[in-house]
Amino acid sequence: MKFQGWKKAAAGALVCSLGWSALDASLGADGFDGWNAGEGTSLVLSTDEAESGELNNEIEEVNENETDDASDDASVALADGIGGDFNAFAEETAALRAELAALREETAALKVDFEAAKAKEAEPAPKKADPNAPFNLKFSGRAIADVSLTSADAEFNDFYGETSNTWRLRDVCLTMRGSGYGNLEYIFCLAVAEKVKIYDFYLRCNDTRYFGDVRIGQFHVESGIDSMTILYDTPYAVCDEDAQIFRLGRRFGIGSTRHTADERVRLFTGAFIPKSFNTEPYGTFDDNPGLVLNARLSGTPIYEEGEDGLLNELMHLGGSYYWVAPGADDSTQRFRTRGLGGSFSAPYFLDGTISLADRSYSVSEIETAWQHKGFATTADAFLKSVEDGGNAYGATVGSRWMLTPGCAWGYSKDMGRFSSPKIAEDARFVNTKDRVVAGNWGAWELLGKWSWTEANSLRESAGATYGTVNRLTTGFNWYWNEKTMWTLNWERAFIDARRGGEAVDATHDTLILQAAVKF
């Protein structure tokens, strides 16, 4: 029994010895101090049960702290990740909210436009005239009034006499236009300002087989684009009597207007006689001319319209010619020109009467115009040649600039000239459609023109005034809408003239305010 107990004690000592040697070899002197275990060790070998339990508790506490630190690090990393994702989500949400707000605004604007379009569609459509009806009639007209202030130097007053300021109702005309039987039109225009005078009065048959549009009645002999525009619209003061030495008035005749298929080229030919519906020839420019032959060719090599209906680009080229034969041996023709004021109290700068005495005369003209949106310029040059009686010359260059966006002059392919300006609805000072006054500032236009007239080589006649006149005109137009315009023009005329043995080198200034209303 004792031997067996000794064997057990020896075996236990051997096991402890081997365990100590293994631990000492694996941990070393630095990693193992007495019976204490190193970090991460979950087992402590000790012969003292109390000491071993206490050390094991400390090891478990250390391991728990390390686990808590690792958990804290993982929690921080997770929080950082979640925070970054939340910020990105918040930014994306803000962007979506802004986009949603913009879509709401756009939807509201589209709704307003839709309601306006729907209301417009609900309006009753205007009745269109039946072109095949036997009779259709439309009334229109215009009224023009102005006040002019004049000033001249002493040389002018000594030669021509003093001028006076004037105010007058210059022109009131009523026009009746009708159509019927498919291709017939008729116009009757009557002036009633100071005395009753017939302007245009003719019957027109459109689209005839060989002669195009045919007119018969009283209407204008055609010349340059500047004069044709002034006759029917008013880019400058309507009393601009620039070169009446080169222009004829309305006469009784027959004319044909033909266009190419695309209406880019226009040809007018006409023949007129001296008879008139008035008691005297219009403007007393001539007395008893026997026959007037007239032709005018014009074209638009460039013509581009925008989506808004305004001209983006226009190039106009043309020329005209008319020949006047005397009706009797005592036939005469009067040449004259005066300033912008055009009042009957103002003198003519050049004035004289040419005795034709079986001599004819002719006027040749070339013309050009260019327009780019709101800016337009025109130019005309004239040559008047009297058979065995000398020549007269003239030229005009003018420019206009519509300062208000969305506004520009139109162009009449039917007449080969500029037509009334188009004024955008959101720019009109007086909007008759919406019954709004002073809702906007209207359309504003700057303008300027230079003109030159020279009549020095015409045959001398007693009491006639010959010479050269240069005129500079500038100012602006104010359009309340397409039918109402105010024109303020200032002109300076430089006159170098002679009458018999007397000569003058003078200047003359005119400031004119003119109102024109169409109805």
* Residue 451, domain member (yes or no): yes
CA–CA dist 407, 442 (Å, integer): 10
- Overall number of domains in the chain: 1
What gap in Å lies between CA 392 and CA 464, rounded to an integer? 14
Q: How confident is the model at residue 22 (pLDDT cuts 50, 70, 90)?
A: very low
pLDDT band, residue 61 (cuts 50/70/90): low
CA distance 116 to 122: 10
Q: Choose among 404, 321, 307, 305: nearest CA to 362.
A: 321
Assigned domain for 81 exists: no
Side-chain half-sphere of 461: how many Cα atoms within 13 Å? Answer: 18
DSSP assignments along 155-222, one per residue: HHHHHH-----EEEEEEEEEEEEEEETTTEEEEEEEE-SSS-EEEEEEEEEEEETTTEEEEEEEEEPP
Q: Is residue 297 part of a domain?
A: yes
Tell me whether strands 265-273 and 212-220 are parallel, antiparallel or unpaired.
Answer: unpaired
pLDDT of 49 higher than 70: no
Q: Which amino acid is at 73?
A: D
Token pair of 280 as six digits:
């005297």
DSSP notation for 391-407? EEEEEEEEEEEE-STT-
* Average pLDDT score over the chain: 79
pLDDT at 2: 43
Is the pLDDT at 18 greater than 50, yes or no?
A: no
CA distance 91 to 68: 34
Which residue bears the tokens 């309601």? 115
**Is 75 part of a structural domain of the chain?**
no
Residues constituting the chain: 519
* Half-sphere exposure at residue 171, Cβ-oriented, CA atoms within 13 angstroms: 24
CATH number assigned to the domain comprising residue 247: 2.40.160.10
Residue 80, domain member (yes or no): no
Query: Higher pLDDT residue, 38 or 315?
Result: 315
Report the C-alpha gap between 180 and 182 in whole angstroms: 5
Are 268 and 416 contacting, i.e. CB atoms less than 8 angstroms apart? yes
User: Residue 37: inside a domain, yes or no?
Assistant: no
The residue-averaged pLDDT of 307-335 equals 86
**218-242 residue pLDDT tens:** 998 898 888 888 777 777 776 655 5
* Domain that includes residue 216, residue range: 136-149+176-482+489-503
Estimate the share of the chain in helix, then strand, then coil, as percent rounded to the nearest 5.
25, 45, 30
- Considering 10-14, 276-280, 281-285, 295-299, the range whose residues carry the highest mean pLDDT is 295-299
Give Cα separations from 81 to 25, 90, 175 (angstroms). 46, 14, 85
Type of residue at 190: L
Q: Is the pLDDT of residue 326 over 70?
A: yes
How confident is the model at residue 20, as a pLDDT?
Answer: 43
Give the confidence band of 348 by pLDDT, cuts at 50, 70, 90.
Answer: confident
Q: pLDDT band at residue 319, thresholds of 50, 70 and 90?
A: very high
Is 409 exposed, middle or buried, given 0-12, 13-18 or 19+ CB atoms closer than 10 A? buried
Q: If you average pLDDT over each of 6-20, 122-136, 249-263, 420-434, which comes out highest?
A: 249-263
Residue pair 244/336 in contact by the 8 Å Cβ criterion: yes
Position 57 in a domain:
no
| Domain membership flag for residue 107 | no
Phi, psi for residue 456 in degrees, rounded to 5:
-110, -25
pTM for this one? 0.70
Contact present, 233 and 445 (Cβ < 8 Å): no
